Amino acid sequence: MKIDDLEQMESEDLSTLSSAERRRFLKIGLAVTGMYLGGSILSLISVKNAHAAGVVPEAGTYPYNPHYSMVLREHLCIDCERCKEACVKTNHVPSYGFRTTILEKRRSLGEDKSETIFVPVLCNHCNRPPCVRVCPTTATWKDEKTGIVVMDPSRCIGCKTCMAACPYNARYFKEETRAVDKCDFCLQSRLSKGETNPACVEACPADVRVFGNLADPKSRVFQLVHAPDTMVWVLRPETGAVPNVFYINS
């Protein structure tokens, strides 16, 4: 474009801006500000029917039946690792991975004394499982009947996104199958064959692990987590995954 042509063109500087144009622009600005301000004021008004929810869902609101879950009576765990051995044997877990393991922590008892606490961990079979949400090939999902988070190794492409998403470090990559492997409450190896308990539960000599249907008020897991004067907690509740593995100390 030649400089002469440019000179012929209409100016775009402020002198050509009409009042109506300015007004319209200001209006948009005010509308946006108003939206945010209104939202902030609204958020200050208390919600009357809100109540603090515990980690244990209200009775009768379990999404599955059977709604399989596990209660771990933490202070009884002695890290004898029979559960791990049983799991390895039942589910062919290689030495570099685990479906369940025992963590160890120390708690001060004052002065120089401390006690050891062993924490058994496994897949929490969350109601809102982050691993399922991130899987690009739907190789992992929540079983419609039991709520167990299951895997189909043949659909897994080994991208390991689920491993990164899991708040509980409950998944590992199994070289042998070239797929991610995880605890399925022994659904494939035992429950589907008529057994009532996963291998780890059966192996535990100290009755730490209790497995059952949380939707059944007569089940032991239901009674343990709904017992009066009992503190029930879950690991990493802040992730919002709504886990189904509960911890108690009684």
Partner 1 sequence: MKKVFVFVVVGVVLFSGALLFAADKAVPEDYDEDTYGPKDPIVWEKPVKAVVFDHKVHTMEGGLECDSCHDELFQMEAGAAQENDDFTMATLYDGGYCGACHDGSTAFASNTRCTACHIGVRGSDRLQGDAAAGKKAH
Taking the least distance from each CB to partner 1, the nearer of 77 and 234 is: 77
Q: Which of 55, 56, 79, 188 binds partner 1 (CB under 8 A)?
A: 79
202 contributes a contact to partner 1 by CB under 8 A: no
Instruction: Give the single-character DSSP code of 70.
Output: E
Three-state SS letters, 119-161: EEEECCCCCCCHHHHHCCCCCEEECCCCCCEEECHHHCCCCCH
Binding flags for partner 1, 17-56, as an x/- string (CB under 8 A): ----------------------------------------
Looking up tokens 């691993």, which residue turns up?
131
89 contributes a contact to partner 1 by CB under 8 A: no
Q: Minimum distance from CB of 122 to partner 1 (Å)?
A: 17
Q: Minimum distance from CB of 84 to partner 1 (Å)?
A: 8
Taking the least distance from each CB to partner 1, the nearer of 102 and 232 is: 102
Classified as helix, coil or strand, 59 is coil
Binding residue count for partner 1, defined by CB under 8 A: 16
Taking the least distance from each CB to partner 1, the nearer of 101 and 189 is: 101
Distance CA 151, CA 185 (A): 12
Longest dimension (CA), the chain: 95
Taking the least distance from each CB to partner 1, the nearer of 82 and 226 is: 82
82 contributes a contact to partner 1 by CB under 8 A: yes
DSSP secondary structure letters along 208-244: -EEEEETT-TTSHHHHHHT-TT---B-S-GGG----S
Q: Is the dihedral of CA 56, 61, 63, 68 positive or negative?
A: positive
Distance CA 153, CA 90 (A): 17
Q: Which stretch binds partner 1 (CB under 8 A): 15-23, 69-77, 168-176, 191-199?
A: 69-77
Residues 101-160 that bind partner 1 (CB under 8 A): 102, 104, 115-118
Q: Which residues bind partner 1 (CB under 8 A)?
A: 75-82, 102, 104, 115-118, 205-206
